[in-house]
């Protein structure tokens, strides 16, 4: 069974129809790329999946439950985790404290003292810092990290809640080619526990890491398939070569 099923999704902003009739299916532990020209509705689709925008039409099922009207917090609890295009780190706190906050994010404050021990939290934070190449920077202020390291910190924070599906909106935007390559390497191991829906401009990057692609154009699905199928798609080539 699919992990995520988006059916006939529509989203309007006033008179503007940002998405219409969108179907997307994401399998557990698969990497799914969302591509398409600027303004084609990629970020709107990610936000609708995460619950940051409510759908105007259609339905979203996640892990066997209808989440169409669920709040972002309810979706997060079920295992959805989103990193927005805009940064969400706290620049005045240390790298360590940013991850510590994220590790605790799924627990109400009053339960903190009684649930996980400080030692267990510390271990979780250290493991995430190591996985995302931040262990040596733990005491640095998050705001002083390089752009690429800040993106990795945000991915670490999004993974802190042990999601079943991670949603990433343009994580390699503004990165150097080397940072992009490292980002691909950092993402691959999450497949063991988590699926990924990723929006990216860099087609080579997305083709390298994704199993499946959905191409949006003007709020609709232009094509959908494996990377090889999309590479052969004449409809997709037309959009990318004529605009």
Interface with Mg ion (CB under 5 A): 43
- For the bound state, the minimum distance from the C-beta of residue 36 to ligand ADP, rounded and expressed in Å, comes to 6
Residue 113's binding partner among ligand ADP, Mg ion, none (Cβ under 5 to 8 angstroms by kind) is none
CA distance 220 to 17: 10
Which of 16, 86, 113, 119 binds ligand ADP (CB under 6 A)? It is 16
| SS3 at position 37 | coil
Nearer of residues 1 and 16 to ligand ADP, judged by Cβ: 16
Q: Which is nearer to ligand ADP, 38 or 234 (CB)?
A: 38
- Residues 29-68 touching ligand ADP, rule: CB under 6 A, are 36, 38-44
- Neighbour order of strands in the sheet with 165-169: 80-83, 165-169, 195-199, 31-35, 212-217, 220-226
Question: In the block, which residue shows the tokens 């557990």?
Answer: 28
Strand, coil or helix: 68: coil
Minimum distance from CB of 81 to ligand ADP (Å)? Answer: 19
> 16: Cβ–Cβ under 8 A, 6 or more apart, which residues?
none
User: Quick check: 214 binds ligand ADP (CB under 6 A)?
Assistant: no
Contact status, residue 41 vs residue 31, Cβ threshold 8 Å: no
Among all residues, whose Cβ is closest to Mg ion?
43
Burial of 135 (0-12, 13-18, 19+ CB in 10 A): middle
Given the complex with Mg ion, which of 170 and 223 has the nearer CB atom? 170
95-103 and 147-159 helices, crossing angle to 10°? 20
16 binds, among Mg ion, ligand ADP, none (CB under 5 to 8 A by kind): ligand ADP
Nearer to ligand ADP, 126 or 203 (CB): 203
Nearer to ligand ADP, 11 or 212 (CB): 11
Which residues contribute to the site for ligand ADP (CB under 6 A)? 13, 16, 18, 36, 38-44
């Amino acid at each position: 069974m699919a992990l995520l099923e988006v059916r006939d999704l529509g989203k309007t902003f006033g008179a503007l129809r940002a998405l219409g009739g969108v179907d997307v299916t994401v399998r557990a532990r698969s990497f799914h790329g969302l591509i398409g020209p600027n303004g084609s509705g990629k970020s709107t689709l990610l936000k609708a999946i995460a619950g940051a925008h409510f759908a105007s039409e259609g339905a979203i099922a996640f892990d066997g439950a209808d989440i169409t009207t669920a709040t972002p917090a309810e979706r997060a609890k079920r295992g959805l985790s989103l990193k927005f295009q805009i940064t969400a780190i706290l620049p005045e706190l240390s790298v360590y404290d940013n991850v510590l906050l994220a590790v605790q994010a799924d627990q109400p404050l009053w339960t903190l003292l009684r649930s996980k021990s400080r030692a267990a939290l510390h271990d979780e934070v250290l493991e995430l810092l190591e996985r995302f190449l931040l262990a040596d920077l733990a005491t640095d202020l998050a705001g002083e990290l390089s752009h690429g390291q800040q993106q990795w910190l945000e991915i670490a924070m999004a993974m802190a809640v042990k999601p079943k599906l991670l949603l990433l909106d343009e994580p390699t935007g503004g990165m150097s080619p080397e940072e992009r390559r490292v980002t691909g390497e950092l993402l691959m191991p999450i497949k063991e526990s988590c699926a990924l829906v990723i929006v990216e401009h860099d087609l080579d990057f997305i083709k390298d890491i994704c199993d499946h692609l959905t191409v949006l154009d003007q709020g609709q699905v232009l094509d959908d398939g494996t990377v090889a199928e999309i590479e052969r798609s004449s409809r997709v080539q037309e959009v990318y070569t004529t605009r």
